[in-house]
Amino acid sequence: MSQITLYGLLGSALVGLGLYGLIVSADALRKLLAFNLLGSGVFLLFGVIARRGAGAGFSGDPIPQALVITGLVVAFAATALAVGLLVRLGETAGLEDVDDAPASPRSAAPEDAPGSAGGPQ
Amino acid sequence: MSAGLMDWAGLMWMLMRALMQALVGWSDALLVALLVLPVLAMLLGFALGGRAAERIALWTLPLGLAVALAIGALVLHQGMPLEYAMGGWAPPLGVALRVDGLSAALLLTTALVITGVGLYARADFATPSGVAETRASLAFWTLLLGLWAALNAVFIGRDLFNLYVAIELLTFTAVPLVCLKGSPENLQAALRYLLFALLGSVLYLLGVALLYGAYGTLDIAQLAAAVRGSAEPAALVAVVLMTAGLLAKTALVPLHLWLPPAHAGAPAAASAVLSALVVKGSFYLIFKLWLDLLPPQYGQQIAQGLGALGALAILFGGVLAIRQTRLKMLIAYSTLAQLGYLFLVFPLVLSPVTLLAATGEGTPPAWTGGVLQLVSHAFAKASMFMGAGLIAIAMGHDRIGELGGLVRVLPVTLTAFALAGLSLMGLPPSGGFAAKWLLLRAGLETGQWWWMLVILGGGVLTGTYLYRVLAVAGFSGGESAPRPLQPVARSRELIVLGLALVSLLLGLLPLSSFEVLKIGREGDETAAVEALTQPAITGAVWP
């Protein structure tokens, strides 16, 4: 098995694991981790494509490498935004654990009810 | 007297010509301004903060509208698309920007809706006197400008990776708009939206990787030529992955769960942009992938599937909208249903009958119908959400059952609501009528009667849920007219009415004027038909 095939398969495995996690887990933080795993798989595939498409005398095609750097920045920003939302949600709703499903009656903290009950403007 | 009039007309004509000639030299600068202007304004507003952010955003509105108008006029004048290679590097090494007839129309729609929303939002997001800066208003004005830049980038992009960045920027500006009010429900809705969008973006990126690996370019036109030349199964897999991702961002039915709470929970001005424009950005990419990038014979099976999901969205969204008790939720579910119509375009345009008939006469009617549906829904829905905002201010709530007598409190807003509703139902005269009529005609011509039933059924459902609102708000109310809790400025009502009128007037334009949309598409058309007459390629993908 060549190096390219091995890394290609690894990348695909990460994509599969991430996708499974993103779909199956209810916990928002787990979903976020799964998204990052899935993203890593995609970035690894970009690396494989860079190596496979390398010109003579080069170790890799530079364009996919450049794309990965941009992709990393975007994924980082997305993760930061999601974590920010999670923290904020935990603070305002007084939750220990955050699902992405609508809050169940159990998890709605009573002390926030008056301030937050305002519906659409 | 008539000679004087002739001179006048002649002078105006000469002036227009001179203006156009001056504009031609500026076409590159105009394309760059589409991106640079809102981004610069956003950064400047963010840096200066407070009242300056609002002032800068309000000054950017007419400038951006002027740029979009100038670009539209140029495309119309030259009869061919504008192109610009950034930094002088041609694709595949560089990144090209391109405005054809369709992009020009969408840029103008975006500019008009954002201008309306900006003017409307002045009252909601003004920094109160005595305070240096409030979080909500700073966030709203900077995000509105960022969203505008992202939409412009989506509509003029030609490079799939560049489009990825644009669509991410769109998500990152749209998600915070959902939770501007910061209540736990809003945050929950925003988080849910973000998680769906992230799944979408990573699937899209996977498709980009596969396409680059197979063809070594990400320029849409070059990819289309390459796919036509040699069909790799990877191309189809990649486009299906990207479509699945974009469907999550467009909220087509199995992936729609995030949309109603997010769009209904946001402040009215934000809901208007989210529902009218943001979901259209990702739809536009699906449209490009299937109709511009892939040769038509690839899409035929999958187009039926996309159409079926669209039909499901129309029926499901309509039924759920009828069952809502809050006005904003009803409008959000209506967005879900109206988005479904857009997906009927794929089976109708990609049908073999349409493709063979289109050899001589340019774009098929279903294509025009889809674009018209997109544009008229954008205006109608922006008007409806902003109208609902005014209703909530005047009545203090948006419970549909208790809106009795609204017609005496906000007659103009209710009229606008009814006019926008005409367009959503597809009754003449309105842009929505022309769109749905073109889709119906395409259904008849291609012998796909089942889509016609869906379109007609969707119209009935739309009529039902809008009647529920209008019947309560317009006719009952008793003897004593309810008093508005808070007065609503007449100017805000007029903005809402103006947007509704635009969606109506689109239906009064003669159909021939939509030929403008196909500027820059003739080449693709003939190529598509050539590809259809070469069935040898199909065997490689569909054994």
Decide if B526 is inside a domain: yes
At B529, the pLDDT band (50, 70, 90 cuts) reads very low
CA distance B494 to chain A (A): 20
Across the interface, whether the CB atoms of B202 and A38 are under 8 A apart is answered yes
Decide if A5 is inside a domain: no
Taking only the tens place, the pLDDT of each residue in B8-22 is 888 888 888 888 888
Q: Does the beta carbon of B383 lie under 8 angstroms from any beta carbon of chain A?
A: no
pLDDT surpasses 60 at B484: yes
Decide if B371 is inside a domain: yes
pLDDT surpasses 60 at A14: yes
Residue B533 pLDDT = 42
Q: If you average pLDDT over residues B215-226, what whole number do you get?
A: 91
pLDDT surpasses 90 at B354: no
* DSSP 8-state assignment for residue B396: S
Q: How far apart are CA A70 and CA B209, in angstroms?
A: 13
At A96, the pLDDT band (50, 70, 90 cuts) reads low
Decide if A49 is inside a domain: yes
Final residue before a domain boundary, out of B250, B272, B294: B294
Cα angle: B506, vertex B512, B518; to 5 degrees? 90
The whole domain housing A61 covers: 10-96
What are the phi and psi torsion angles at B390 (to 5°)? -65, -40
At A116, the pLDDT band (50, 70, 90 cuts) reads very low
Dihedral (CA of B256, B258, B264, B268) sign = negative
B409 and B371 in one domain?
yes
CB B160 within 8 A of CB B218: yes
Residues 184-213 of B with CB under 8 A from A: 184-185, 187-188, 190-192, 194-195, 198-199, 201-202, 205-206, 208-210, 212-213
Burial A93-106 (b: 16+ CB within 10 A, else e): bebeebbbeebeee
Using the structure block, give the residue that is written with the tokens 């995000």: B143
Q: If you average pLDDT over residues B439-453, what whole number do you get?
A: 91
Average pLDDT over chain B reads 88
CA distance B58 to chain A (A): 23
Residue B391 pLDDT = 93
Across the interface, whether the CB atoms of B185 and A35 are under 8 A apart is answered no
Decide if B141 is inside a domain: yes
Taking only the tens place, the pLDDT of each residue in B146-182 is 999 999 999 999 999 999 999 999 999 999 999 998 8
- With contacts defined as CB-CB under 8 Å, which chain B residues touch A71? 164, 205
* DSSP 8-state assignment for residue A96: S
Across the interface, whether the CB atoms of A121 and B389 are under 8 A apart is answered yes
Lowest pLDDT segment from B300-309, B315-324, B375-384, B470-479? B470-479
Q: How many other C-beta atoms lie within 10 A of the C-beta of residue B533?
A: 9
Residue B28 pLDDT = 87
Across the interface, whether the CB atoms of A85 and B190 are under 8 A apart is answered yes
CB B72 within 8 A of CB B108: yes
The whole domain housing B54 covers: 25-158
Final residue before a domain boundary, out of B225, B260, B294: B294
Residue A120 pLDDT = 41
B265 and B245 in one domain?
yes
Taking only the tens place, the pLDDT of each residue in B224-278 is 999 988 888 889 999 999 999 999 999 998 889 999 999 999 999 999 999 999 9
Dihedral (CA of A20, B309, B430, B402) sign = negative
At A99, the pLDDT band (50, 70, 90 cuts) reads low
Report ipTM for this prediction.
Answer: 0.86
Lowest pLDDT segment from A99-113, B89-103, B441-455? A99-113
Q: Which of B165, B213, B327 is closest, CB to CB, to A49?
A: B213
B282 and B192 in one domain?
yes
**Considering its fold, how many domains does chain A have in total?**
1
Higher pLDDT, B355 or B381: B381
Q: If you average pLDDT over residues B474-496, what whole number do you get?
A: 77
At B343, the pLDDT band (50, 70, 90 cuts) reads very high
What 3-state class would DSSP assign to B348? helix
B112 and B233 in one domain?
no
CA distance A116 to chain B (A): 5
Q: Can you read off the two tokens belonging to residue B195?
A: 């998680």
Q: If you average pLDDT over residues B457-465, what whole number do you get?
A: 94
What are the phi and psi torsion angles at B427 (to 5°)? -95, 145
Using the structure block, give the residue that is written with the tokens 């002027």: B66
Decide if B329 is inside a domain: yes
| CATH number for position A86 | 1.10.287.3510
B461 and B361 in one domain?
yes
- With contacts defined as CB-CB under 8 Å, which chain A residues touch B389? 121
Residue B542 pLDDT = 39
- Amino acid symbol at B251: A
B201 and B269 in one domain?
yes
Could you tell me which chain B residue has the CA closest to the CA of A23? B199
Task: Say if residue B267 is preceded by a cis peptide, omega within 30 of 0.
Answer: no
At B352, the pLDDT band (50, 70, 90 cuts) reads confident
Q: How many other C-beta atoms lie within 10 A of the C-beta of residue B381?
A: 30
B252 and B133 in one domain?
no
Closest CA to B468 of B422, B374, B397, B403: B403
Quote the radius of gyration of chain B (alpha carbons, Å): 23
B152 and B137 in one domain?
yes
Across the interface, whether the CB atoms of B184 and A116 are under 8 A apart is answered yes
CB B384 within 8 A of CB B497: no
B421 and B329 in one domain?
yes
Taking only the tens place, the pLDDT of each residue in B105-126 is 999 999 999 999 999 999 889 8
B465 and B427 in one domain?
yes
What 3-state class would DSSP assign to B96? strand
At A110, the pLDDT band (50, 70, 90 cuts) reads very low
Residue B482 pLDDT = 67
Decide if A25 is inside a domain: yes
Across the interface, whether the CB atoms of B185 and A116 are under 8 A apart is answered yes
Residue B297 pLDDT = 79
Percent of chain B with pLDDT over 90: 61
Q: How far apart are CA B450 and CA B443, in angstroms?
A: 8
Q: How far apart are CA B158 and CA B154, in angstroms?
A: 9
Q: How far apart are CA B183 and CA B188, in angstroms?
A: 9
**Considering its fold, how many domains does chain B have in total?**
3
Higher pLDDT, A1 or B175: B175
Decide if A116 is inside a domain: no
Decide if B452 is inside a domain: yes
- With contacts defined as CB-CB under 8 Å, which chain A residues touch B143? none
Q: Can you read off the two tokens belonging to residue A53?
A: 């498409």
Using the structure block, give the residue that is written with the tokens 């009215």: B268
